[in-house]
């Protein structure tokens, strides 16, 4: 489906899901890039503080972007069970253009962002969990690059992705958070097509 067609169908409420692992031991880790972006977005747009929602087992903050009610959610489950929260926040349908999932991606360099719709998981366990739970892959995904500038895969991938960002990497990530925040604003107030053309 073309992005232009998606934009027409987008609803008056958006849900932004930031994937990662909960708990202080995972703060500022590469695998939590999605959570970090959503926290930045909520703060940047003056959303209230996140509060625990028992039904979805998530930290949730609700605000408005333009005239559109927008829910920012951070699953309080481990990454590979992110779908549990998604299923409670969204009703399974053939298409979920009002769901935006933000997550880390080891195949992209740190500083790179990729917005897509209806793509496969690419082996990302958190995304796979969401797809299973909502019974579709037809939702917006924003991939946040976390790999090193060299492009070489680390010898111990698990250790790398749950490792913390270095100070110089945090500076780059802050710029990424700003870029994605602007992309989300464009997506919500205008269209997915425009966000993809401007920020990909």
For the chain, which domains are there?
Answer: 3-199 (3.40.50.1470)
> Any idea which of 61-65, 87-91, 151-155 has the lowest mean pLDDT?
151-155
Q: What is the full DSSP assignment across the chain?
A: --HHHHHHH--SEEEEEE-S--SGGGTTBGGGHHHHHHHHHHHHTTPPPPEEETTTTEEEEEEEETTEEEEEEEESS-GGGTHHHHHHHS---S-EEEEEEEEEEEEEETT-EEEEES---TT-HHHHHHHHHHT-S-EEEEEEEEE-TT-PPPSSHHHHHTSBPPHHHHHHHHHHHHHHHHHHHHHHHT-HHHHHHHH-
**Residue range 90-101: average pLDDT?**
88
All residues at 6 or more sequence positions from 79 whose CB lies less than 8 Å from its CB, including other chains: 19, 20, 21, 31, 125, 126, 129
Q: In this structure, what token pair is assigned to residue 47?
A: 């959303």
Q: Is 31 a catalytic residue?
A: yes
- Out of 31, 103, 109, 124, pick the active-site residue: 31
Dihedral sign of CA atoms 40, 38, 47, 25 in order = negative
**Residue range 154-182: average pLDDT?**
95
Report the pLDDT value the prediction gives residue 5, as an integer from 0 to 100: 41
104-120 residue pLDDT tens: 999 999 999 999 999 99
Closest CA to 78 of 31, 137, 139: 31
38-85 residue pLDDT tens: 999 999 999 999 999 999 999 999 999 999 999 999 999 999 999 999
Report the pLDDT value the prediction gives residue 94, as an integer from 0 to 100: 84
In the block, residue with structure tokens 């991938």: 157
């Amino acid at each position: 489906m073309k992005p232009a067609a998606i934009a027409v169908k987008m609803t008056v409420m958006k849900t932004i899901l930031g994937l990662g692992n909960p708990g202080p031991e995972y703060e500022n880790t590469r695998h939590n890039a999605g959570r970090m972006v959503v926290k930045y977005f909520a703060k940047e747009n003056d959303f209230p503080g996140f509060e625990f929602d028992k039904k979805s087992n998530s930290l949730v903050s609700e605000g408005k972007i333009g005239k559109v009610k927008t829910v920012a959610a951070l699953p309080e489950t481990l990454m590979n069970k992110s779908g549990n929260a998604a299923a409670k926040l969204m009703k399974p349908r053939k298409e979920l253009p009002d769901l935006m999932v933000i997550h880390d991606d080891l195949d992209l360099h740190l500083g790179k962002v990729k917005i897509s719709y209806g793509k496969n998981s690419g082996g990302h366990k958190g995304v796979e969990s969401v797809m299973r739970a909502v019974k579709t892959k037809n939702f917006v995904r924003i991939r946040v690059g976390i790999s090193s500038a060299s492009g070489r895969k680390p010898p111990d991938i698990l250790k790398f992705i749950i490792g913390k960002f270095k100070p110089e990497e945090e500076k780059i990530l802050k710029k990424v958070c700003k870029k994605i925040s602007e992309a989300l604003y464009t997506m919500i107030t205008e269209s997915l097509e425009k966000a993809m053309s401007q920020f990909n």
